[in-house]
Amino acid sequence: MLDSIEHLTPAQIVEELDKYIIGQKDAKRNVAIALRNRWRRMNADESIRHDIIPNNILMIGATGVGKTEIARRLAKIADAPFTKVEASKFTEVGYVGRDVESMVRDLVEQSVNMVKTKKKEEVKQKAAEAVEDIILDALIPPIQGGRATPSFSSTSEPNSMPDNDYELNERTREKFREKIRNGELEDRKIEIRIQQSAMPGMGVMGPGMDEASMMNIQEMISGMMPKKTKKRKVTIAEARKILLEEEASKLIDMDEVKEEAIFKAENSGVIFIDEIDKVASASSKGSGPDVSREGVQRDLLPIVEGSSVSTKYGIINTDHILFIAAGAFHVAKPSDLIPELQGRFPIRVELQSLTKDDFYQILKFPKNALTKQYVALLAAENVELSFADEALDEIASIAFEVNSEVENIGARRLHTVMSRLLNDILFDVPDKIGPNAHIVVNREMVLERLSDMVKNRDLSQYIL
């Protein structure tokens, strides 16, 4: 289950993170150790394995410095289910709103989808063969029991189909099978039956009903309803896409999927709790919103400590889920969290604010750098876009300056600056700038298009 990280040492995990995230070495080291420890626990002596609990991490840093991206990339490296929640969206039990257990249910849902996708890939070939037979039956119905199916035109007696007619039918079917495989009939229309949901949008209401109970009742009622099918006339290419999903689903054992998904969520799941500073209180008052924020912390505590949560796929234990919490902590401090919750996040990492050089590197080096994204977008129009080095330096300088003058939103500022810089080009392609054009973004272009961002001290229009 955790084989994907078996051959990745902590140093190699940091190398993988470096491909997408600039700087923040301390944070990367700590999450790399936490990830490797997941594999170490699963391979530890069975007598102590259950007692080894993950060291949850508290990331402290301003918005846009890479907290979420580090956690998300970590989960991708481990091929682990991942869910991000915002602590400020939760409400204390007894109030209208989202309860904290929903983040565990979201994690299990992610895990089920991951396992289903993997299982579908395993049965893809078998499903494709079944789909081919369905398409072939729609084109040339087979002869069954010595007679043609109702849609097959025949002048023979209904109960005695001559052998030569049967052989002719088979030869015709084989010729059409070859055509289907060669893609010669992709645009030909056929009529197929597809499954449809028995009761789409069904809702269940009741006094004092929690989210888990509602989901379970919905699933139970849905399972009792008969499966409906409807006829659709589609091309063979469309039919293949529709039917492949249905046939793959039929070949999957959902009980096995649920069992594997719960194991995966319990042992490799990562829950990222953002804005945890918003439920911390710097005040010592005993009433008002501070009490509600403390209530959310007390609701979070048993989940992070380890408890059993009911989901529509079964009970999940949260003892070995890795929790990564994050917050800017501009007003509140980590010590303003209730002591019990502080104790559940023993690893504390402070992320550094981004410098001008960080911005330059973010634009140039990551695999998903914004510059590379814009190059790919215009390449789709056969337009070549490139950035001079001094242009990247100037963009970094402007982004850093705007962050300093207005509000520091970290790397997100680059989205605003790049959009402002390239919007005219994106609008003019392909009407005014045709295919095969080559656009070089140089320092002069950057200064010309972005100078007003620096000169204008009322920068409210550029704040995200």
CA distances from 85 to 17, 82, 198 (A): 21, 10, 32
d(CA 106, CA 126) in angstroms, rounded, equals 31
Residues 6+ apart with CB under 8 A from 97: 89, 90, 91
Tell me phi and psi for residue 439, to 5 degrees. -110, 125
Q: In this predicted model, which residue has the larger pLDDT, 293 or 111?
A: 111
| Token pair recorded at residue 72 | 């998300």
- With CA atoms as reference, report the closest residue to 310 among 209, 224, 197: 209
- H or E element at residue 308: strand 308-311
Is the pLDDT at 152 greater than 60? The verdict is no
Of 6-10, 362-366, 446-450, minimum mean pLDDT range: 6-10
All CATH 3.40.50.300 domain ranges in the chain, comma separated: 3-118+260-350
Residues 188-202: what's their mean pLDDT? 71
pLDDT at 361: 96
Taking alpha carbons only, the member of 113, 39, 123 closest to residue 261 is: 113
> Which tokens sit at 399?
């982004």
Q: Which CATH number fits domain 3-118+260-350: 3.40.50.300, 3.10.20.30, 3.40.50.720, 3.40.50.620?
A: 3.40.50.300
| Residue 43 tokens, joined | 């391979």
- Where exactly does CATH 1.10.8.60 map onto the chain? 356-457
pLDDT of residue 155 exceeding 50, the answer is no
Report, at the CATH architecture level, how domain 356-457 is classified.
Orthogonal Bundle (1.10)
Taking residues 195-222, what's their average pLDDT? Answer: 56
Distance, C-alpha 400 to centroid of its chain: 30
What sign has the CA pseudo-torsion 239, 245, 250, 251?
positive
- Residue 309 near residue 303 (C-beta atoms within 8 A): yes
Instruction: Say which residues have a Cβ less than 8 Å from residue 220's Cβ, sequence separation at least 6.
Output: none
Nearest to 314 by CA among 270, 253, 266, 248: 266
The answer on pLDDT for 282 being more than 80 is no
Across the range 264-278, mean pLDDT stands at 95
Overall average pLDDT of the 252-270 stretch: 95
Q: Is the pTM of this model over 0.85?
A: no
Tokens of 71: 């956690």
Is it the case that residue 432 has pLDDT exceeding 90? yes
Average pLDDT along the chain: 85
* Candidate from 87-96, 256-265, 346-355 with smallest mean pLDDT: 87-96
Region of poorest pLDDT, from 36-45, 166-175, 201-210: 201-210
Q: What pLDDT, on a 0 to 100 scale, did the predictor assign at position 151? A: 44
pLDDT score of 202: 52
Q: Rounded distance, CA 446 to CA 290, Å?
A: 47
Least confident of 34-38, 67-71, 373-377, 450-454: 450-454
The pLDDT value given to residue 153: 43
The helix/strand count (H/E) of the chain reads as: 17, 13
% pLDDT > 70, the chain: 82
End-to-end CA distance of the chain: 41
Q: Mean per-residue pLDDT for 391-416?
A: 92
Q: Is 284's pLDDT higher than 50? A: no
